[in-house]
Copies of this chain bind each other. A is one copy, B any other.
Amino acid sequence: MDKIKIAHGSGGQYTYQLINDVFVKHFDNPILKKKDDSAILPRKNLRPVFTTDTHVVKPLFFPGGDIGKLAVTGTLNDLAVMGAHPAWLSCGMIIEEGFAIDDLEKIVISMARTADEENVKIVTGDTKVIEKGSCDGIFINTTGMGHLADSINFGVNQLESGDKILINGNIGEHAAAIITARQNFDIRFKTQSDCACVYSLIEKLTDELENIKIMRDPTRGGLATTLNEFVMEQRVGIKIDEEKIPIREQIKGFCEPLGFDPLYLANEGKFITIVKDNEAQKALSIMKSHDLGQNATILGEVTSQNPGRVILKTTIGSTRVLDMMSGEMLPRIC
């Protein structure tokens, strides 16, 4: 048997075999092995944090990652930017009839390895198989549960003029990797998705800083859209400095002829942190001493001017308003 059949989604013998031979084998843990309708988790005297993300990225395999790695990192990062410790994942797959079981296993191994590195367990799952032509290969939903310490309470309502805005590294890398993988562009520089779990760096920040106001990962919609989300409906604005935005020259050059604005490109291993002015340098040095933050910068600040707006000071000294993304530059980036 080398391809997925409709019967693999029947709930009967084939499903049982697929679950054992692929999912339980690689996600291997005692809770999943029970194969109950739900996973019973140990109780924990902390606030549960709960998030979901469905992954439809195209192509399924790309430089720096694949849909499996992305399905784990994407959801764990949504927990991490809340300040939560990621603990548990579910995995819901929709698979097209005829999908190669080898590819499925590669994806599952990638999920298992990524979760393992973060000490997260995939404890419950569901598999649907649908007729050839009714979906595009494989779609993966992961839903995550984490735990939030009482000391952590991020919120945009805490933003105040003077707060500093940091990012942990170069933008546009994930989108550029997907575009080149999809289009088979002949380019002279290496693209690789930045796809990574950022919790280990966020944990250091939350351990050592007292005045983190908010964090968020600029995925779909990119840096510009995430900054807009922070100040939308708030009494403060944001001003960022184009010169301080970490981005490779090659990515800039790559975007220009294609008409992409890197400020709106998706990232998968980046997060924006806003901290009180007095902790900005400390935050920066924590980031820079971590693998995932070597190109970190302080790229702007919260302002009392222009409430609800994000203003970019360009390299030539002019200013312009950065809106949320309108329309869509690049579907199926994640």
Q: Could you tell me which A residues sit within 8 Å of B by CB distance?
A: 5-7, 9-16, 35-56, 78-79, 81-82, 84, 88, 90-94, 123-126, 128-131, 134-136, 139, 141, 143-146, 148, 216-217, 219-221, 225, 229, 264, 266, 323-329, 331-332
- Of the candidates B11, B82, B124, the one whose C-beta lies within 8 Å of that of A38 is B82
Query: What are 16 pairs between A and B in contact, CB < 8 Å?
Result: A7-B326, A10-B221, A10-B328, A12-B328, A14-B326, A37-B51, A39-B49, A42-B47, A48-B48, A52-B91, A52-B143, A55-B128, A90-B143, A139-B139, A141-B141, A143-B143
Do B40 and A148 touch across chains, with their CB atoms under 8 A apart?
Answer: yes
Do A90 and B38 touch across chains, with their CB atoms under 8 A apart?
Answer: no
**Residues of B close to A51: CB separation below 8 A:** 37-39, 90, 124
With A38-B84, A40-B48, A51-B90 given, name 11 new contacts (CB 8 A). Answer: A5-B328, A7-B326, A7-B327, A7-B328, A12-B264, A38-B82, A38-B144, A42-B47, A54-B92, A92-B143, A134-B136
**Residues of B close to A12: CB separation below 8 A:** 220-221, 225, 264, 324-328
**Residues of B close to A48: CB separation below 8 A:** 40-41, 43-44, 48, 145
- Of the candidates B38, B42, B326, the one whose C-beta lies within 8 Å of that of A13 is B326
Of listed A5, A10, A36, A56, residue having the most chain B CB within 10 A = A10
Do B52 and A141 touch across chains, with their CB atoms under 8 A apart?
Answer: yes
Do A50 and B124 touch across chains, with their CB atoms under 8 A apart?
Answer: yes
A10 CB to nearest chain B CB (Å): 4
- Of the candidates B5, B56, B90, B141, the one whose C-beta lies within 8 Å of that of A130 is B56
**Residues of B close to A266: CB separation below 8 A:** 11
Do B91 and A36 touch across chains, with their CB atoms under 8 A apart?
Answer: no
**Residues of B close to A131: CB separation below 8 A:** 331-332
Task: Report, nearest first, the 6 A-B pairs whose CB atoms are least far apart.
Answer: A11-B220, A12-B325, A11-B221, A143-B143, A38-B51, A52-B90
**Residues of B close to A11: CB separation below 8 A:** 219-221, 225, 266, 325
Do B36 and A40 touch across chains, with their CB atoms under 8 A apart?
Answer: no
A274 CB to nearest chain B CB (Å): 14
**Residues of B close to A16: CB separation below 8 A:** 324
**Residues of B close to A148: CB separation below 8 A:** 40
Do A139 and B94 touch across chains, with their CB atoms under 8 A apart?
Answer: yes
A247 CB to nearest chain B CB (Å): 19
Provided the pairs A38-B146, A54-B141, A124-B51 are in contact, do residues A332 and B130 lie with their beta carbons within 8 angstroms?
Answer: yes
**Residues of B close to A36: CB separation below 8 A:** 82
**Residues of B close to A35: CB separation below 8 A:** 229
- Of the candidates B43, B216, B331, the one whose C-beta lies within 8 Å of that of A47 is B43
**Residues of B close to A92: CB separation below 8 A:** 52-54, 92, 141, 143
**Residues of B close to A46: CB separation below 8 A:** 43
**Residues of B close to A225: CB separation below 8 A:** 11-12
Chain B minimum-CB-distance residue to A145: B50
**Residues of B close to A136: CB separation below 8 A:** 130, 134-135
CA–CA, A98 to B105, complex, Å?
Answer: 33
Provided the pairs A92-B143, A143-B92, A328-B7 are in contact, do residues A126 and B37 lie with their beta carbons within 8 angstroms?
Answer: no
**Residues of B close to A143: CB separation below 8 A:** 52, 90, 92, 141, 143
